């Protein structure tokens, strides 16, 4: 099993003195993520991500974490194909090609280097799988995976399964089917024991 490569030290050093974000391709993180979660030979294989086995997913390190709606964002997932006015779309896609060996990726997963330098192995696995769950192949109204005329998959970004405030859950409990399912999963033992997530990250079981 490939050890998790970790955040580059020069990005961590730069974030302390330079608030301007620096982005860097993380091809080694893609290799780790695909072998850990998408390879059928892995102990942590997750069939929920099987549609990504041939997808071009670009992983990118960010030297800083971002804020959104008052919360720190440690990872994001977006489509490689950009939107926007003339010029801005092309420029954004050009930047992605520069990071992805000249190819426009299907998905871009950006990871906050300072967070990954300090969090434990379970958090590393959970955050990366969280972003992979956003990367979906679109389905038609009959549930059939969609493809372009060329035969390539039609991809989309999937939202979260559960969207709720902690205060509402505190006051009203698991009032919706999605919250009830979440409670069921939280009350059950996790499918991935902590010792496996340590092995996936460290390669030797050593605590980081």
Residue 124 domain-assigned (yes or no): yes
Nearest CA to 131 out of 165, 149, 108, 115 is that of: 108
Residue 207 domain-assigned (yes or no): no
Residue 3 DSSP class: P
Give the C-alpha separation, 38 to 52, whole Å.
7
Q: Residue 96's Cα: distance from chain center in Å? A: 17
Residue 3 domain-assigned (yes or no): no
Count of domains observed in the chain = 1
Domain span at residue 76? Answer: 9-202
pLDDT in tens, 47-105: 999 999 999 999 999 998 888 888 889 999 999 999 888 789 999 999 999 999 999 99
Handedness of CA 34, 35, 36, 42 (dihedral sign): positive
Query: What per-residue confidence (pLDDT) applies to 189?
Result: 93
Residue 22 domain-assigned (yes or no): yes
pLDDT in tens, 113-168: 999 999 999 999 999 999 999 999 999 999 999 999 998 999 999 999 998 999 99
Give the C-alpha separation, 100 to 65, whole Å.
22
The residue that leads in pLDDT, 199 or 207, is: 199
3-class secondary-structure state, position 83: coil
């Amino acid at each position: 099993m490939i050890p998790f490569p970790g955040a580059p030290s020069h990005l961590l050093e730069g974030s302390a003195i330079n608030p301007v974000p620096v982005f860097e391709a993380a091809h080694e993180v893609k290799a780790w993520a695909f072998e850990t979660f998408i390879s059928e030979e892995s102990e942590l294989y997750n069939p929920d991500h099987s549609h990504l086995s041939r997808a071009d997913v670009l992983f990118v390190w960010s030297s800083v974490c971002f804020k959104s709606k008052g919360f720190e964002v440690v990872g994001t997932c977006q489509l490689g194909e950009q939107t926007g006015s003339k010029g801005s779309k092309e420029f954004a896609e050009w930047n992605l090609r520069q990071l992805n060996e000249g190819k426009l990726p299907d998905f871009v997963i950006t990871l906050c280097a300072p967070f990954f330098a300090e969090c434990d192995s379970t958090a590393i696995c959970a955050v990366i799988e969280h972003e992979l769950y956003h990367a979906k192949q679109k389905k038609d109204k009959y549930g059939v995976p969609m493809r372009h005329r060329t035969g390539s998959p039609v991809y989309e970004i999937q939202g979260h399964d559960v969207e709720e405030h902690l205060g509402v859950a505190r006051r009203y409990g698991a009032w919706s089917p999605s919250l009830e399912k979440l409670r069921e999963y939280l009350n059950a033992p996790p499918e991935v024991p902590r010792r496996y997530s340590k092995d996936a990250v460290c390669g030797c079981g050593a605590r980081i």
